[in-house]
Structure 1
Amino acid sequence: MRAGDGITIIDTGFGERPAFCAAWLLVENGRAAFIDCGTLHSVPNMLAALDAAGLAPDAVDWLIATHVHLDHAGGAGALLRELPAAKLVVHPRGAPHLVDPAKLIASARQVYGDALFEVAYGGLVPAPAERVLEAADGQVLDLAGRPLLLAHTPGHALHHLSVWDERTRAWFTGDAFGISYRELDVDGRSFAIPTTSPVQFDPLQMKDSIRRLLAAGPKVCHVTHFGAVRDVQRVGLRLIEQVDAMVALAQFLDDAPERHEALKQALTKLYVDRARIHGVTDPERVVPALLEMDIELNAQGLVAWLERERRAAGRSQL
């Protein structure tokens, strides 16, 4: 789907759910960049978008991974094989895991099991080290005269970066600016929630990253899940408020029996209540159905953060 100004949004097909996971094609003067790429299964979608733009695979200069979670970058090595001129751009903390994805594969198989891993992700192809560029904070890539600034934006993950396109005053934010499904839009206003999925969620870093994104005065944030958020300042401030609310719930329920389940229920109520205020119709039905996976992952990430905080407190007392 063309978004104008040389930007095409690509539905990567992840999870077999439409409008769930996005990647982008940027075109300038006959040269191209991809931002995120989905999984191994997404490679045909990426190449089809390039073909629809009238470009050959050797027109792609950059394949930028906002972070190395598999729904964003699982297909990077395989796609790189099809793009002879492209460099893979990734945060320095993430680069080793795309060059040697053994740890990513082992972790995903442990979480999902072998059968589901193959269905969801299809495996990972190592990226050649000589074709990987480790992105410095503030580094600017040149896309045929169109500058793309790379900003380290941790909070969701330590290996997260966002991409600033000055031409459109737009951020491509991966998961740093939360998730915002178009089904929850009301009168052109976006509804978004933070994504605290395991294992590197950090509330202070996440809020600082959101503030950094807002400070650029963007007209739009392109979020991986899913699409364009245009009322950026309002959504960003609400995200910061929600980070604090989610952390408070996690701390309050830290000693609760069945902590994980209790936290899922509390998060569901938080999102339902906020969606009702936003104007979503029938939020008690719509929100749990649409956000089921996100609520599960957010609860997991908050519990992982609580455990990390507990270990840090224990070390400080030694």
Structure 2
Amino acid sequence: MQEVSISSLDNRIHLIDGYDLGIARRTGTYVIDDEHLTLIETGPSPSVPYIKSGLDSLGFSLEQVKFIIVTHIHLDHAGGVGLFLQECPNATVVVHPKGARHLADPRKLIAGAQAVYQDSFNDLFAPVLAVPEDRLEVKEEGETLRIGAQSELRFLDTPGHARHHLSIYDPVSHGMFTGDTVGVHYKPLMDDGIGFFLPSTSPNHFDPDAMRRSVERIRDWKLDSIYFGHFGMTKNVDVALDQVEEWLDVFMKAGKQVFSEKKGHEELAARLRTHVEDYLRTLQVNDNHEVYTFINLDMHVCAIGIMDYLKKVQV
């Protein structure tokens, strides 16, 4: 286990690094220190020890955890929720209505991930445990959750990355926890003063039109902050949303070209990587920068999702 890393984003919201895939600054758990201690995302089960250690370092007990919210049920965001819940006796899991049944019975989630990750599945995700139905709370569009006397989170149905995706508005910070709907924030580049954001187009529910609508809907809130599933916060909200929309156009144009050439996702991933490399070189980012650990993985998964979408609509 690596050293626990906690970022205090303000005096109320903290981010515990979950070291998803064994990589720092990839996926984390947000902790909202309010009357009812609330967590957003757990990451996969190998991240659970980091959450526990992080809460301990922040001075919280597992008994204090009241709500565990998952933006969506992909295993890198919610795969560890069943395991973590076992040690949080007073907690309820909050989820999109289309995701609840898969948390209660995760066999399809497991089978899908095993097909993709094969022999690596156990190391990356196991165990994926069911959440008892009586500890699930569904939140739909416009519904709220009171976590403090002055704090009432509001839930938005924001498809595009997944059909079962919630974004969560926090009025205290005037910020939004967006999971993957409005893309990925590449923290290693931000550490160099470069804000860089790409869409997350992974399979199998990726829908570019729905994603654009969700991006524009979130833009309309005129937020002070966005809290990304991958990874961390930005206050450059319009810059982030602009980049995600611009790169979504680039991704889709490249995808349609590869699809028309009857080539596969490997070719698309290579072209997306080239587009990103060419752009980052204009910002003097070295080709060996650590950010490519993230980008190489993301372009592979994004390419699969784009090609899956194009096959469905037969562009």
TM-score range, shorter chain: over 0.9
Distance 1:254 1:184 in 2: 31
Partner of 1:36: 41
Residues 290 and 74 of structure 1: CA distance in aligned 2, closer, same or farther (over 3 Å): closer
The TM-score normalised by the length of structure 1 is 0.92
Partner of 1:141: 145
Residues 303 and 98 of structure 1: CA distance in aligned 2, closer, same or farther (over 3 Å): same
Partner of 2:308: 304
Residues 186 and 270 of structure 1: CA distance in aligned 2, closer, same or farther (over 3 Å): farther
Contact conserved, 1:117 with 1:123, CA < 8 A, in 2? no
Instruction: Note the C-alpha offset of 1:308.
Output: 0.8
Give deviations 1:137-170, integer Å, cap 9, x for gaps: 1111111221111111110000111111111111
Residue segments in structure 1 that go unaligned for 5+ positions in a row: 314-318
RMSD: 1.7
Give deviations 1:30-75, integer Å, cap 9, x for gaps: x300100011122221122222222222222110000000010001
Does the residue aligned with 1:4 lie in a helix, a strand or coil? coil
Paired letter, 1:24: Y
Sequence identity, in percent?
31
Contact conserved, 2:83 with 2:127, CA < 8 A, in 1? no
Give deviations 1:202-249, integer Å, cap 9, x for gaps: 001111111111111111111121111221101101211211221111
Distance 2:9 2:174 in 1: 14
Contact conserved, 1:271 with 1:287, CA < 8 A, in 2? no
Partner of 2:85: 80
Paired letter, 1:108: A
Instruction: Note the C-alpha offset of 1:285.
Output: 6.0
Query: Where do 1:103-182 residues align within 5 Å?
Result: 103-113=108-118, 115-145=119-149, 146-182=151-187
Q: Verify: 1:271 aligned to 2:293, yes or no.
A: no
Among 73, 78, 82, the residue aligned to 1:68: 73
Work out the number of aligned pairs and report it.
308
Residues 43 and 289 of structure 1: CA distance in aligned 2, closer, same or farther (over 3 Å): closer
Contact conserved, 2:197 with 2:240, CA < 8 A, in 1? yes
Query: Where do 1:138-287 residues align within 5 Å?
Result: 138-145=142-149, 146-185=151-190, 188-256=193-261, 258-277=263-282, 279-283=283-287
Instruction: Note the C-alpha offset of 1:88.
Output: 0.5
Distance 1:74 1:245 in 2: 31
Instruction: Note the C-alpha offset of 1:288.
Output: 4.3
Does the residue aligned with 1:62 lie in a helix, a strand or coil? strand
Q: Verify: 1:49 aligned to 2:54, yes or no.
A: yes
